[in-house]
Structures are given as C-alpha cells and as structure tokens.
Amino acid sequence: MHRAYFVRSLSDPELAGVFRDAPPLLERLVADLIRSGQAGGQVPAGIDTFLEAELLLAAVDGLQTAVVLGQRGVEQTVALVDRLLDRLFTA
C-alpha cells in the first residue's frame, strides 16, 4: 500500500508533501523510543538515538521493497528486523 501511494505522490504535489514530511516525524518517534530504551537500561547510553533511528528506518524501507518484489519472505524479513532490534536493545 505504501508503495502505491508513493508512486501516486510522484504526480500529486499534495501527497508528495505528506511523503516529504513523514520521514523526519517517524525518525523522531523511533529515536524517542530508543531513548526510552536507554532510560530503562535496555539500550547502551552512548548510542546516537537519531542515527540509530535513521538506520533502522532505512533498513525497513529497503526490506519492504524486497518483500513487495518477492525477493524476501515475510518471516525472513521479520527475523532480520528482530536481529537489528536485538543488536540495539542489548539488555
């Protein structure tokens, strides 16, 4: 569904604005969740939360394309995301 709206946003300036604004908002949300993990002792204190959020979201974006194209299965994709989260949330 995301890809269908993305393609439409290429010719719809209003929808393009939504896509343009969404990544920074989502990155801030994920960074805040990682910071919560730091506060709870689940994420190392020295981690750059915003950088980790950007990396996680970039990975998920690439993985969703691979799923849509049939290059990866859902289970394999979930396992990869779990591995990324396990590396970050070490406690």
Split the chain (91 residues) into runs of 10 and give each run's mean pLDDT: 71 79 82 96 94 93 88 94 94 72
pLDDT attached to residue 2: 64
Longest dimension (CA), the chain: 45
Cα separations in angstroms, 43 against 20, 27, 33, 66, 85: 29, 17, 10, 28, 10
Number of domains in the chain: 1
Contact between 38 and 45 (Cβ < 8 Å): yes
| Domain carrying residue 74 | 2-88
Question: What pLDDT score does 44 carry?
Answer: 94
Task: In whole angstroms, give the CA distance from residue 5 to residue 21.
Answer: 14
Note the pTM of the prediction, 2 decimals.
0.77
Pairwise CA distance, residues 90 & 81, whole Å: 14
